[in-house]
Structure 1
Amino acid sequence: MLKEIQCFARVAARLSFSAAAADQGMSQPAMSQAITRLERAAGVRLFERSAREVRLTAEGLALLPYAEQVLESAAAFTAEAARLARPTIHLAYPPLIGALAARIVRRMASRSPAIGVELRMAGRAAASAALESGEVSAAILAIPAPVRFVTAARFHVTVDHVAVPAGHALAGRSALVPADLAGHALLTPEGRPWAGLPGHRRLLPGDDFAAALDLVAAGAGLLPIPQLLVRTVRRDDVRFVPLEAPDLRITYALAWSKERVTGELLALVQAVQDALWTR
């Protein structure tokens, strides 16, 4: 019956049996037979046919939206079945590198055979715990990663701005150098020593830079951040001032448990490496 409904929708769209048949890769008699079978099953005429034109009947016009819904549901069923049937790997990643995570998903989907990637946005502690428990197959973690994990595909994110409160004395500066931060509290995500920067540290749990901006706005301190985050955040209560400190960076890597190596994981490693070298 699905094939007959497809034929009905195609003839309704084209108002031509011959054109609809060509679209479906069928002969015109086969198309006519499919419509006849559907009309008999439904108990109504769907089209008025003459030598010059094809028109939907009132009944055909009323039934067309239902036919389109059936076809949409069938297409969704097929797509979801294909998604469930293909191998899937779970990847945790920090919010800062969402664009890279999206590229990885696209690369895995374009493989043959395709591999699905379920993304989980998570900070360092949550990602490490999920990796340890097996909830995710791999995670992108800031280096140094816990020693119990294997790492590969390292890359760097330059920290080249400082987030300051909108009313702060440094907010109007066109650029800063490390010496300008002396005497100020620096919000420091866990595991980020920010070597070479003066000022006293206020340690933050985890590595959620976006959440730390609330503390900046509240006047709790200044936050060195990468341009990756600057490009995605728009806030009236925080200013992002360029920082001239070329050696300041965060190193990330793909991490996984050596006890859970699969073919899909190896494909993910390759996809991450490819995504880092291309756009």
Structure 2
Amino acid sequence: MELRHLRHFVALAEERSFTAAAQREHIVQSGLSTSIRALEKDVGALLFVRGTRPVRLTAEGQALVPSARRTLEAATAARQTVQEVHGVLAGRLRIGALQSTGHTLPFANWLAEFSLAHPRVEIAVRFTAASTMVEQVIDGGLDIAMVALIEDDPAGLDVVPLLTEPLMLACPAGHPLAGADAVRLEELVGERFVETPPEWSIRTVIDDAFRAAGIQRQIAVEVNEWSMALDLIAAGAGVALVPEGLDFGLHPRSTDTVQLVPLIGVQLDRRVDLVLPSGHAATPAARRFAELVRAKV
């Protein structure tokens, strides 16, 4: 089994298109097809369902993806380890991050410092849901991620705590609760809510809090972007519970039209952590980035 065949397999599994995967790997489509057939011959099973668009994995193909990623990462880590002996860090660093990471943490500054210190490392940042990022770090789809964790000690991962911030009620400036010193969850009965998707960790925290209080809430709009959520609140579409550190300066249309009110009677927090595979399962680049972040927090 050749590494290039595994690399081509992972590219096709992620891109779900022969054209896109071939372009990503800088080969012609016929070469990609030949490589996939060679891998299927090696493993003794079909890995993709033929004739589907987008390209779809078979059950065997789905089972192979995590192992293929880990094998490729192990090979990359081996090369990087040798290069580190000569004082040169190279390769890739795939980082997952929350949309609001840059509001409360100097994420861009950390990336810039790391990039300048290690110019041979190719950095790719992906913004997605925390639960998805944790899974991707575990199965090798990401090298490291800044996430809002729910559980304290995820199996197989090292955790670097970054911050914990309270959630606050965000409401239109003209809302009856806008001038309150604090608000209880019970006072939000009957309100329309602008919410984040169910797979976001902050949504899990909020859902659990309302469930524990025995309160049902009406979700008027669900969006996966904080700027859109703030604009909807400002326009009167509903209220929301948002991180205290959300930077309204990044959303000038909402600066004077949305008010934050502290919660009372319940402590709801969003935590942000840096997670990477434990020990030698982490790539050298991921370990080095974690070292940089640890020195900053």
Q: Which TM-score band applies after superposition, normalised by the shorter structure?
A: 0.5 to 0.7
In the TM superposition, residue 175 of structure 1 has moved relative to its aligned partner by 3.5
Query: What CA deviation, in whole Å up to 9, does each residue of 1:190-220 have, x standing for no partner?
Result: 3123776765345787864344335535655
1:107-186 aligned within 5 A: 107-109=113-115, 111=117, 115=121, 117-128=123-134, 130-131=136-137, 134-144=140-150, 147=154, 150-171=157-178, 173=179, 175-178=181-184, 180-186=187-193
The equivalent position to 2:293 in structure 1, one of 257, 272, 279, is 272
The answer as to whether partners of 1:163 and 1:222 remain within 8 angstroms in 2 is yes
Identical-pair percentage: 18
Letter in 2 for 1:154: P
Normalising by structure 1, what TM-score?
0.53
Quote the residue 1:224 is aligned against. Answer: 241
Q: Distance in 1 between matches of 2:134 and 2:224?
A: 12
Matched, 1:255 2:275: yes
In structure 1, stretches of 5+ residues that fail to align are: 1-84
Flag the structure with larger Rg. 1
Q: Distance in 1 between matches of 2:91 and 2:244?
A: 35
Matched, 1:87 2:74: no
The answer as to whether partners of 1:125 and 1:206 remain within 8 angstroms in 2 is no
192-201 or 120-129, larger mean C-alpha shift = 192-201
Letter in 2 for 1:200: Q
The answer as to whether partners of 2:90 and 2:285 remain within 8 angstroms in 1 is no
Matched, 1:100 2:106: yes
Quote the residue 2:262 is aligned against. Answer: 243
Q: Distance in 1 between matches of 2:224 and 2:154?
A: 18
Q: Distance in 1 between matches of 2:138 and 2:223?
A: 17
Q: Give the RMSD, CA atoms, in angstroms.
A: 3.9
In structure 2, stretches of 5+ residues that fail to align are: 1-88, 199-203
Q: Distance in 2 between matches of 1:151 and 1:238?
A: 41
The answer as to whether partners of 1:177 and 1:244 remain within 8 angstroms in 2 is yes
Secondary structure of 2:275's partner? strand
In the TM superposition, residue 224 of structure 1 has moved relative to its aligned partner by 1.4
Normalising by structure 2, what TM-score?
0.51
